[in-house]
């Protein structure tokens, strides 16, 4: 019998919805495999209705029946921060810890050292930087995430936020809500995306999907990544490759950010880098908040060096109520929702179940789901997180 601790975001303030009565739609579309041929999550079974809210405490990622039928104990909480939190108390004898990047249960070196029974930390979603990966490596703890589960969800959100910034949607909508018709005010910062230079930092699953979705807008696409894309892909989308982010940002109007948070990417969008961008550039960062220098972003918006900043990731999470990104000028921030649409939840809940089935049945976890295993970066972790050799 194993103890599984599951940290999820709190339920809706007006109560947990009943499916399908309280939902906007009755079902989700059937989807093919992912664009690179990777198969969708394929657990032996699921005990939830796709399209229902699974990511908050009562939803339990649909895991309770499966775990209890197999004799395991499940503890679910949203109380994750501080020494007196339920998470801090329960992690000491947990075999499995599952958390979501939207509401990250930070597994610091101290917490990992306290979790003497911990064998696997699962990210229900993508991005395992909330786990101290060096310590997980040292302690031989497996870290796995549901690679691709919400990459396309984030790509859609990114495209939305690029358009929201460039066209300056937020104040225009507010004028409509407020009963006004001030067209000149509404359009004084509104541009067409067509013809702009758009640069993608990290062309992994999300970055490539963003470029593919933006190509029909008639933009000029640029990118950088540690690994250059195949020539035929570059030709298909007319991509300009830049050796590094320094060269990329000088040549674009819009930057979108899709790298994992690592020692190399932490604090990368700083005052110096921002100062080399074209005046009036836009940044959309749905990767990780700590890739950007919080105060440098605020100053660049205030000075006009940046014309807009959006994204949905913050540091820490949840962000404090007085976090300056909530109120800085020309922002279109959301609260880490891009990868947790109801559609995305169905995929990462099924993927989490698949990982658990493999773990409990002693079967291999797919390499694409692995970040760290047996004391080393593995699978996607070796490609996207480990230092480039
Ligand atoms: P991915 O593994 O497919 O792609 C990551 C890419 O980053 C790889 O191509 C890798 O080569 C590149 N990279 C890593 N370090 C780099 C560096 N220093 N310089 C240049 N390129 C670098 O992952 P993905 O599915 O595209 O997701 C990317 C990131 O987006 C995740 O790690 C996560 O932090 C974030 N994410 C956010 C949400 C959300 O809800 N906002 C959801 C999913 C993922």
- pLDDT score of 167 more than 80: yes
| pLDDT (average), residues 177-197 | 98
| pLDDT (average), residues 197-221 | 98
Q: Is 336 tagged catalytic?
A: yes
What's the sign of the alpha-carbon dihedral 17, 73, 150, 106? positive
Domains of the chain: 3-149+340-377 (3.40.50.720), 151-333 (3.40.50.720)
Q: Which atom of ligand 1 is least distant from the CA of 207?
A: 26
| pLDDT (average), residues 47-52 | 98
| pLDDT (average), residues 316-320 | 97
Structure confidence at residue 247 as a pLDDT band (50, 70, 90) = very high
Task: Find, among 257, 253, 209, 197, the residue nearest to 233 by Cα.
Answer: 209
| Alpha carbon separation from 25 to 19, 28, 46, 342 (Å, rounded) | 10, 8, 20, 10
- pLDDT score of 26 more than 90: yes
Structure confidence at residue 45 as a pLDDT band (50, 70, 90) = very high
Q: Which of 100, 225, 264, 310 to mutate to test the pocket of ligand 1 (most atoms within 8 A of CB)?
A: 225
Tell me the two tokens of residue 24: 């906007």
Which of 137, 150, 285, 373 is labelled catalytic?
150
Half-sphere exposure of 261 (CA within 13 A, CB side): 24
- pLDDT score of 389 more than 80: no
Which of 72, 157, 208, 336 is labelled catalytic?
336
Q: Is 317 tagged catalytic?
A: yes
Residue 154, ligand 1, Cβ within 6 A: yes
| pLDDT (average), residues 196-225 | 98
Q: Rounded to whole angstroms, how far apart are CA atoms 228 and 150?
A: 23
Residue 368, ligand 1, Cβ within 6 A: no
| pLDDT (average), residues 162-183 | 98
Q: Rounded to whole angstroms, how far apart are CA atoms 158 and 143?
A: 27
Query: What is the share, in percent, of the chain residues with pLDDT greater than 70?
Result: 100
Q: How far is the centre of ligand 1, averaged over its atoms, from the C-alpha of 111 (Å)? A: 25
Task: Find, among 189, 183, 79, 97, the residue nearest to 141 by Cα.
Answer: 97
Residue 310, ligand 1, Cβ within 6 A: no
Q: Rounded to whole angstroms, how far apart are CA atoms 188 and 167?
A: 10
pLDDT of residue 31: 96
Q: Rounded to whole angstroms, how far apart are CA atoms 2 and 66?
A: 13
What are the beta bridge partners of residue 284? 256, 310
| pLDDT (average), residues 266-275 | 98
What's the sign of the alpha-carbon dihedral 268, 269, 273, 276? positive
pLDDT of residue 388: 81
Q: Is 84 tagged catalytic?
A: no
pLDDT of residue 387: 86
Q: Rounded to whole angstroms, how far apart are CA atoms 120 and 372?
A: 10
Whether pTM exceeds 0.95: yes
| pLDDT (average), residues 66-76 | 98
């Amino acid at each position: 019998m194993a103890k599984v601790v599951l940290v999820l975001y709190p339920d809706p303030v007006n109560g947990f919805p009943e499916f399908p009565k309280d939902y906007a739609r009755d079902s989700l579309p059937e989807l093919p495999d992912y664009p690179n041929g990777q198969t969708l999550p394929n657990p032996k079974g699921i005990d939830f209705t796709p399209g229902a809210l699974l990511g908050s405490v009562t939803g339990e990622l649909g895991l309770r029946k499966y775990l209890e039928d197999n004799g395991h104990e499940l503890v679910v909480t949203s109380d994750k921060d501080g020494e007196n939190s339920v998470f801090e108390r329960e992690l000491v004898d947990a075999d499995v810890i599952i958390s979501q990047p939207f509401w990250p249960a930070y597994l610091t070196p101290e917490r990992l050292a306290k979790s003497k029974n911990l064998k696997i930390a699962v990210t229900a979603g993508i991005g395992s930087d909330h786990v101290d990966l060096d310590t997980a490596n040292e302690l031989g703890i497996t870290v796995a995430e549901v690679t691709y589960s919400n990459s396309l969800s984030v790509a859609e959100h990114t495209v939305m936020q690029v358009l929201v910034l460039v066209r300056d949607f937020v104040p225009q909508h507010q004028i409509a809500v407020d009963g006004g018709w001030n067209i000149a005010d509404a359009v004084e910062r509104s541009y067409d995306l067509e013809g702009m230079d758009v640069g993608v930092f990290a062309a992994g699953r999300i970055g490539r999907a963003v470029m593919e979705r933006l190509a029909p807008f008639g933009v000029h696409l640029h990118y950088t990544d540690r690994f250059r894309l195949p020539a035929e892909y570059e030709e298909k989308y007319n991509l300009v490759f830049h050796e590094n982010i320094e060269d990329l940002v000088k040549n674009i109007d819009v930057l979108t950010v899709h790298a994992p948070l690592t020692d190399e990417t932490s604090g990368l969008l700083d005052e110096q880098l921002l100062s080399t961008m074209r005046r009036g550039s836009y940044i959309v960062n749905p990767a990780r908040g700590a890739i950007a220098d919080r105060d440098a972003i605020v100053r660049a918006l205030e000075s006009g060096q940046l014309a807009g900043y959006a994204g949905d990731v913050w540091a820490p999470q949840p962000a404090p109520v007085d976090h300056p990104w909530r109120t800085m000028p020309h922002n279109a921030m959301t609260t880490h929702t891009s990868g947790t649409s109801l559609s995305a939840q169905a995929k990462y809940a099924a993927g989490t179940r698949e990982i658990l089935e493999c773990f409990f049945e002693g079967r291999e976890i797919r390499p694409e789901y692995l970040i760290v295993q047996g004391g080393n970066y593995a699978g996607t972790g070796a490609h996207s997180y480990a230092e480039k050799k």
